[in-house]
Structure 1
Amino acid sequence: MHSNKGTSLIDEIEETLIAIILGAMTLITFANVVVRQMDGNILWALESTVFLFGWLVLLGASYAVKKGAHLGVDAVINLFPAKGRRALALISITICIVFSFLMLKGAWDYWANFANLPGTNGRWFPLGFEDSFRGKGWYETNDIPHPAFLGWMEGFFNEGVAYEKLPRLVPYMVLPLSMALLLFRYIQVGVSVWRGDIDRIVASHEVEDEIAEVRERLGEHG
């Protein structure tokens, strides 16, 4: 509904990443169940699946905007003529864009210091970047081991000191990434509303479709 013809590079990366996360969660959980049956335990399995689930939820929010899959009630919207629906959609999408922008600022400010980067100044809108801050690149996760292929991070974020566990900047990276994607998707929807291609943000009627399907089945068997 909201996407252009063809799949853009961002779409492909987004969908591939979601698929990888789902696969990784399944494999880790399955492997841990098997190991537990042999009286063992994968110490980092729980923490890693929690982080992966967080990635899935946050990335899924923007993906659902792209697909128009967020559920919504449009009973009031349908009472208005086409121009009124478009005006309400523009008001709604403006609120969504402002909200996602504020979320992006908050997400960056939370994550930045973990990557030895400055957060933004300003309570609501960024007015610049911090002049001084305490880098937290040395913060590690509790159980997830640091993979060898990420060894280069030690020189960039930990003054050359070897990590024993995965640095928190890696799992927390999803915060600014997902909020940036969410903002991007809402801007895409806003452009579609402005052009007159759509007259509402949410167009998913999965619940209504399921109710109609149940009624049809009950009618067949009634």
Structure 2
Amino acid sequence: MSSSYRPKTALGRAVHAFEETVIAALLGLMALVTFTNVVLRYGFNTGLIWGLELTLALFAWLVLFGIAYGFKITMHLGVDAVLNMVSRGTRRVLSLVALGVCLAYALLLMKGAYDYWAPYANLAPTTGRWFPTGFEEMKPWDFRGYTPTERIPMPEILRAPVEFLFLPEGEEPYEKLPVAVPYTMIPVAAALILFRLLEAGWRIVTGRQEWLIASHEAEDAVAEAEAAIRKDG
């Protein structure tokens, strides 16, 4: 995957490697669970009843995490016809306008993501239609932290922290993984998107980046391939 992003510090390289490892791990787990289910189904007439639900959760994590990662490495596609017609200074102004729109959307997304996830984590959603103005006064039956997934069993390695965080007082321990766990990626991804947009904005302001979108990715790939062929030839 080619991009203009190059981490310059040891911490930046470590974070970048971690993010790419997470993406690879999510893809690998999806492939492993699906492959195992196929072998069990057609070879042994059985299967993992929780396989499909887990794969869907992993795919959702991959997409949400990938959106923020795409902003980081400037790989989201967009239309750059107008940007290529104007001067460098005007291009920066237009990029900052686009950034402002994206930041407003990310803030709205962050509020909606938290408000959706909060009851499942035994937390109160925020008040306010567009932007948070406080927290709702929740009644005990409004919280949904005990809501389990349909089929995914509770991994023993996660039992202690999950029950500490999400199990209401006096309730019996979970047999299934609570939906609060996979849903956690919703507000986390929204926060990552907001952070990556702020990062991109700072790079645009300081002149280290020109726009939020990928520029002529296909042409760049063709040019790289032609250069490699000439070098080998």
Aligned to 1:220: none
Tell me whether 1:171 sits opposite 2:177 in the alignment.
no
Aligned to 1:84: 90
Evaluate the alpha carbon distance shift between residue 171 and residue 34 of structure 1 in structure 2; reply closer, same or farther with a 3 A threshold. Answer: same
| Identity within the alignment, % | 44
Deviation at 1:2, TM superposition (A): 4.6
Runs of 4+ in structure 1 deviating by more than 6 angstroms, as ranges, are 211-215
> Greater CA deviation, 9-18 or 98-107?
9-18
Deviation at 1:146, TM superposition (A): 0.9
Q: How many residues align?
A: 216
Using the alignment, how far apart are the partners of 1:149 and 1:187 within structure 2?
A: 35
Deviation at 1:213, TM superposition (A): 8.6
Q: What SS does the corresponding residue of 1:151 show, helix, strand or coil?
A: helix
Aligned to 1:187: 198
Using the alignment, how far apart are the partners of 2:225 and 2:209 within structure 1?
A: 29
Q: 1:144-196 CA distances to partner (integer Å, 9 max, x unpaired)?
A: 11111222223442234111211000110110011111111000010111112
Tell me whether 1:23 sits opposite 2:28 in the alignment.
yes
Tell me whether 1:101 sits opposite 2:112 in the alignment.
no
Using the alignment, how far apart are the partners of 2:17 and 2:127 within structure 1?
A: 34
Aligned to 2:149: 141
Give yes or no for contact 1:93–1:190 (8 Å, CA) kept in 2.
yes
- The one-letter code matched in structure 1 to 2:64 is L
- The one-letter code matched in structure 2 to 1:93 is L
Using the alignment, how far apart are the partners of 1:207 and 1:185 within structure 2?
A: 24
Using the alignment, how far apart are the partners of 1:198 and 1:22 within structure 2?
A: 29
> Greater CA deviation, 130-139 or 197-206?
197-206
Identify unmatched segments of 5+ residues in structure 2. Answer: 227-233
Q: What SS does the corresponding residue of 2:99 show, helix, strand or coil?
A: helix
2:120 to 95, 114, 129: 114
Aligned to 1:41: 47
Give yes or no for contact 2:68–2:189 (8 Å, CA) kept in 1.
yes
Aligned CA-pair RMSD: 2.2
Please give the TM-score of this superposition, normalised by the length of structure 1. Answer: 0.89
Please give the TM-score of this superposition, normalised by the length of structure 2. Answer: 0.85
Deviation at 1:203, TM superposition (A): 2.9
Q: What SS does the corresponding residue of 2:135 show, helix, strand or coil?
A: coil
Tell me whether 1:206 sits opposite 2:217 in the alignment.
yes
Identify unmatched segments of 5+ residues in structure 1. Answer: 216-222
Give yes or no for contact 1:111–1:176 (8 Å, CA) kept in 2.
yes
Q: What SS does the corresponding residue of 2:68 show, helix, strand or coil?
A: helix
Using the alignment, how far apart are the partners of 2:112 and 2:82 within structure 1?
A: 33
Tell me whether 1:69 sits opposite 2:85 in the alignment.
no
Using the alignment, how far apart are the partners of 2:88 and 2:182 within structure 1?
A: 44
Using the alignment, how far apart are the partners of 2:17 and 2:135 within structure 1?
A: 32
Give yes or no for contact 1:61–1:182 (8 Å, CA) kept in 2.
yes
Give yes or no for contact 2:80–2:215 (8 Å, CA) kept in 1.
no
